[in-house]
Structure 1
Amino acid sequence: MSELSSDVLEAETPADRLASLGITLPASPPPVANFVTHVFEDRLLYLSGQGPREADGRMHRGKVGADVSVEEAYAHARLTGINLLAVMQEALGDLTRVRRVVKLLGMVNAEPDFADHPAVINGCSDLLVEVFGDKGRHARSAVGFGSLPGRITVEIEAIVAID
């Protein structure tokens, strides 16, 4: 995670921080089944699970702890965070409307003996703190699954408080 002072974070917008990280948000990934990418309820934005989808549509697949390393899966979780940000941007029109990232549920397609799920999902958590500062710090669950849709390595969903 980058070491940014709180003064710098207050002065910069999430778009500025994305640019300084060299991140251009892709188009919001379309739903892969009968659901929507997000739902507003009061001042909360619920984001459906996203996966490690590259801008060209390619998905990262495999079993973490078997054919995918923790470092690779961390990068996949970071990419998934970028896709969550793309959905937020599309839903809100401006990421400055994010009051706080409230909660993440991080799911890891892991072999049965794998035990480092939090280190994988940190890829997304670290990104959200880099982009939103303290507003990006969130409650979180990081859990393992025997499989995920399409054999993707990670899937992450989020709840975001908005202005």
Structure 2
Amino acid sequence: MRIENKISELGYTLPEVSSAGLYKPVRRVGNVLYVSGQIPWVNGEVKYWGRAGKERDIEYAQDAARLCVLNMLAAVKSEVGDLDKIKQIVKITVMVNSDADFDKQHIVANGASQLLIDIFGEEGRAARSAIGVSQLPLNVTVEVEGIIEIEE
């Protein structure tokens, strides 16, 4: 419960887990979890939509990225039962629904990265890719997927 307490101390709550398709939110291979792309929604309702750039500013997109991280952690909890089993966040991929001339995907991704560092300390400082895309499912602003190592 240490990690969940930290999340609460930071002013966040874990959303309920839901998926929008025929896939597993988390696939476990040994002590590594592959977390499917998580979008910024709560209870099946999109909270952050639109393209970063002219339509949505960087702060809005960073908020979307943080909600994606919370959804990722909720999915992990549903798979392993306790977030304290997480050893480290290995890698995240942050996809940003972007205007053609928007080139600050790495700054948007900092919203996700900083939250993971705030929660897990150095074990949350993951390898990362930040990618601009022309569209995401349901027109969401950000999607985040992750690779996480857990204790055996």
Normalising to structure 1: TM-score of the pair?
0.88
Supply the distance in 2 between the matched residues of 1:58 and 1:46 (Cα, whole angstroms). Answer: 23
Deviations 1:51-88 (A, max 9, x none): 11134623321011021001110111011111111111
Equivalent position of 1:154 in the other structure: 142
Supply the distance in 1 between the matched residues of 2:146 and 2:44 (Cα, whole angstroms). Answer: 23
Matched, 1:104 2:71: no
Give the C-alpha shift of residue 37 in structure 1: 0.4
RMSD across aligned positions (CA): 1.4
| Structure 1 residues 64-143: aligned runs within 5 Å | 64-143=52-131
Q: Match of 2:51, SS?
A: coil
Equivalent position of 1:27 in the other structure: 16
Equivalent position of 1:3 in the other structure: none
Supply the distance in 1 between the matched residues of 2:79 and 2:117 (Cα, whole angstroms). Answer: 20
Deviations 1:99-119 (A, max 9, x none): 110000110000111110011
Equivalent position of 1:18 in the other structure: 7
Structure in which a larger fraction of residues adopt strand:
2
Equivalent position of 1:45 in the other structure: 33
Tell me, yes or no, if the aligned pair for 2:46 and 2:140 is still in contact at 8 Å.
no
Alignment length (residue pairs) = 151
Q: What percentage of aligned pairs have identical amino acids?
A: 36
Tell me, yes or no, if the aligned pair for 1:51 and 1:59 is still in contact at 8 Å.
no
- Structure 1 gap ranges (5+): 1-11
- Structure 2 gap ranges (5+): none
Of structures 1 and 2, the larger Rg is shown by 1
Equivalent position of 1:6 in the other structure: none
Supply the distance in 1 between the matched residues of 2:106 and 2:143 (Cα, whole angstroms). Answer: 13
Give the C-alpha shift of residue 26 in structure 1: 1.4
Supply the distance in 1 between the matched residues of 2:14 and 2:78 (Cα, whole angstroms). Answer: 10
Normalising to structure 2: TM-score of the pair?
0.94
Supply the distance in 1 between the matched residues of 2:10 and 2:136 (Cα, whole angstroms). Answer: 29
